Structures are given as C-alpha cells and as structure tokens.
C-alpha cells in the first residue's frame, strides 16, 4: 500500500470513528427543546380548527384590542388577546401556523426536487449541459429572492400553490450546487465506471447509484433551509402578496398589528415571537443534523 493510499485509509477510518462517536453523544437539551417546539407547532397546525377556541374569522367589536391574559387588562376568554376587529389572536395563531408551516415545508420540497434534479444532471453530464444549468443558477443568485417572488406573484396571482412554487424557486440553487459537487466527485468512482461497463443506462445510474449517495447532504440542507422558507413566506405575507386575508399567517398577523403598536403591541408581538421560536428551533435541529450526518464536520473533532 502506497503512502497516499495509507493516508486516505486513515482519513476514512478517522471520519467513520468520528461519526460514530458523534452519534453516541447524548442529544443536547437545546435540541430536545427545539424538537418539542417543532412538535407542538406541527400538532397545533394539524389539529387546526378542532382546537381553536373561536372561529378565526369571528368578529366582536366590543372585545377589540384586548391584551393577553398575562398583561393587566387581559381577559381569560381570550388568552392571547384580540386584534383590531375583536378576532381571537390564539385562534388566528393556530390557523396561521398551519398556513406558514405548509408554505414553508412545501417550498422546501419544491426546492429540493428542482435543485436535486438540476444538480444530478449538471454534475453527471458536464459540458454544455452543466454550463447552461449553472448559468441559470448564477442568474437566480443575482436576483434578490423577494423581487423574484414579487414578479412571479404579479404575473400568476397569489394563491397557496403559487406561493409554494415561489418559495421553492427562491432557495433551489443551494441544493443544485451541493448535489452537483457530490456527483462530480462520485461520477468517476469504480462502482459508477463498473455500471457503465456493463451497459447500465445513464438515467438508471443517476437514480439508482448517484442519488442515494446524495441523500445525506440533501437532508441536512433541507433542515437548514426550512427556516429560510418560513421566513420568506412570512415576509411575502407581511408585504400583502403572500397568504391573503381572511386566512391568517404569521406574516400578515404581524402586519395587521403595525397600526396599533402604540395601543396594543401584543397583536404583532405574539405572532412575531411564534415566528422567532419556530425558526430558531428548526435551525437548531438543522445544525444538530448537520453535525451528526456530515462526516467532514465530525472528522474535524478528532485530534
């Protein structure tokens, strides 16, 4: 065995040992807290109308702009207060979580499918195909995501499907670049060359041999992009071009309370805190997944 081969073998063993040690470590308390927050948000979003104290469209002008129960002047009938039309903030928050989570997770699925396909094709075929696809990716990077979203929604109109597609179009490039780099490294490995020698067609090589080896970085990137997708949805709804009234989302709930910040700031603070807690929790879980599943980051801890 040559010195270079020994060095490669030692590095491979070090990475394997590092990953196993990292996986045996106890899960940090912050990760458990983040998982609890995400689980609660998903459960609330799934149950939706079944657990709301009131209909999210129910108006009561005699109960308008009530603060939360834990603030002086609050009412036990509305635990998180009411908005300018007397609608229950807790009920709207529950329904808004469903809308925001659906748009965020749906957008990541669209980005994952589009970016992975582009990365597989560009990395495997190289040449002109790669240049054209990567040029499209570079053009996308040159365009601010919020401007692209505004342009697409202005042409196609605002709907849940359009919003999910817009979010996917805003974050697909990261998937394409990561998958492309993985495929470029793998396309000349022995198992790929052997598959070509026995006459396996290119689409089968891509789907059966290359794609499974890209699953781990795709999962890590997806968990890290979910907060970005949720924040993008909230930003679009805040600007009035995302989820439309009367359906609530975290973004349009924050926007609705802007005019009443001096009178009842909780109308915006409550959904803003929910958005912050959700995105921070997903980011924390994504960071933990990255440290566990990425061999290179784990290998760096071995001395």
Asked if 103 contacts 171 with a C-beta cutoff of 8 angstroms, the reply is: no
Q: Model's pTM, two decimal places?
A: 0.81
166: its two tokens: 């817009």
DSSP secondary structure, 168-208, as one string: HHHHHHHHHHHHHHHHHHHTTSHHHHHHHHTT--HHHIIII
State how far the Cα of 269 lies from the Cα of 44, in Å rounded to an integer: 19
CA 245, 246, 250, 253 torsion-angle sign: positive
pLDDT number for residue 273 = 94
pLDDT number for residue 103 = 86
Burial of 172 (0-12, 13-18, 19+ CB in 10 A): buried
Confidence of residue 7 (pLDDT cuts 50, 70, 90): low
Residue with tokens 């997770």: 105
Q: 102-131 pLDDT, tens per residue?
A: 888 999 999 999 999 999 999 998 889 999
Q: Is 2 left (phi over 0), alpha (psi -120 to 50) or beta?
A: beta
SS3 state at 82: strand
Q: 153-171 pLDDT, tens per residue?
A: 888 887 888 889 999 998 9
Question: Can you list the domains of the chain with their CATH numbers?
Answer: 35-296 (1.10.3720.10)
């Amino acid at each position: 065995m040559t010195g270079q081969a020994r060095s490669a073998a030692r590095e491979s063993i070090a990475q394997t040992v590092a990953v196993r040690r990292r996986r045996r470590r106890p899960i940090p308390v912050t990760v458990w807290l983040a998982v609890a927050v995400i689980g609660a948000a998903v459960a609330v979003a799934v149950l939706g109308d079944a657990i709301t104290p009131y209909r999210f469209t129910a108006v009561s002008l005699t109960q308008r702009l009530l603060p939360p129960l834990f603030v002086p002047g609050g009412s036990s009938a509305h635990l998180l207060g009411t908005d300018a039309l007397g609608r229950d903030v807790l009920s709207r928050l529950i329904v808004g979580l469903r809308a925001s989570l659906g748009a965020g997770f749906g957008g990541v699925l669209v980005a994952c499918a589009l970016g992975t396909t582009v990365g597989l094709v560009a990395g495997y075929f190289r040449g002109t195909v790669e240049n054209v696809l990567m040029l499209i990716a570079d053009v996308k990077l040159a365009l601010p995501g919020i401007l692209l979203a505004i342009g697409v929604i202005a042409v196609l109109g605002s709907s849940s499907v359009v919003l999910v597609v817009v979010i996917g179009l805003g974050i697909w490039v990261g998937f394409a670049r990561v998958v492309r780099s993985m495929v470029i490294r793998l396309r000349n490995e022995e198992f790929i060359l052997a598959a070509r020698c026995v006459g396996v067609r290119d689409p089968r090589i891509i789907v059966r041999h290359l794609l499974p080896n890209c699953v781990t970085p795709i999962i890590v990137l997806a968990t890290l992009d979910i907060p970005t997708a949720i924040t993008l949805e909230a930003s679009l709804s805040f600007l009035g071009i995302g989820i439309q009234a009367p359906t609530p989302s975290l973004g349009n709930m924050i926007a609705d309370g802007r005019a009443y910040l001096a009178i009842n700031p909780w109308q915006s603070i409550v959904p803003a805190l929910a958005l912050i807690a959700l995105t921070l929790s997903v980011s924390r879980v994504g960071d933990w997944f990255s440290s566990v599943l990425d061999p290179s980051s784990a290998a760096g801890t071995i001395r």
